[in-house]
């Protein structure tokens, strides 16, 4: 796997990039994040097509990487704008992707780890209040 090329793919991700998944992912690649669990390029492409419809100005920035011949862990920030109460509000989600590569060097396993409660729910108007109250109740 050319990890630098894969990171460049993520950092420059745009709607036109969807057609390039096959360059980096195996045909039967597995993908999981807090909201999705799918297998295969068409299903993975659908997730990101949906993302481009739901948010404005999405941008991934890989900030760290740990890699060996069989896989990598990529630390990233996902910045985007979402329409809340009639105006766009900038958001950032921080997370990590665990990747495994097949014998051809393509991603065959992609698992995203990020805290949906802290990074997403807590920033929503009503749900955010509930999430913050629960967080304080469970904090040591």
**Across 5-9, 90-94, 120-124, least confident range:** 120-124
Residue 135 scores a pLDDT above 70 = no
The whole-number average pLDDT for the span 22-31 is 98
CA distance from start to end of the chain: 43
Burial 105-140 (b: 16+ CB within 10 A, else e): ebbbbbebebeeeebbebbeeeeeeebeeeeeeeee
Residue 29 scores a pLDDT above 80 = yes
Q: What is the pTM of this model?
A: 0.81
- What pLDDT digit, counting tens, does each position of 71-119 carry? 999 999 999 988 766 777 888 989 999 999 999 999 999 999 988 765 5
**SS3 state at 65:** strand
Domains parsed from the chain with CATH numbers: 3-114 (3.10.450.50)
């Amino acid at each position: 796997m050319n990890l630098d090329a894969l990171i460049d793919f993520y950092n420059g991700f745009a709607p036109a990039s969807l057609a390039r998944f096959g360059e980096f992912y195996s045909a039967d690649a597995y993908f999981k994040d807090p909201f999705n669990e799918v297998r295969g390029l068409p299903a993975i492409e659908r997730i990101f097509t949906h993302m481009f419809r739901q948010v404005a100005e999405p941008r991934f920035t890989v900030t760290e990487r740990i890699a060996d011949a069989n896989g990598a862990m990529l630390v990233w920030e996902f910045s985007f704008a979402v329409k809340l109460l009639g105006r766009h509000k900038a958001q950032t989600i921080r997370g990590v992707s665990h990747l495994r590569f097949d014998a051809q060097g393509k991603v065959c396993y992609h698992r995203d780890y990020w805290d949906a409660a802290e990074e997403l729910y807590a920033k929503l108007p009503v749900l955010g209040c509930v999430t913050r109250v629960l967080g304080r109740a469970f904090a040591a």
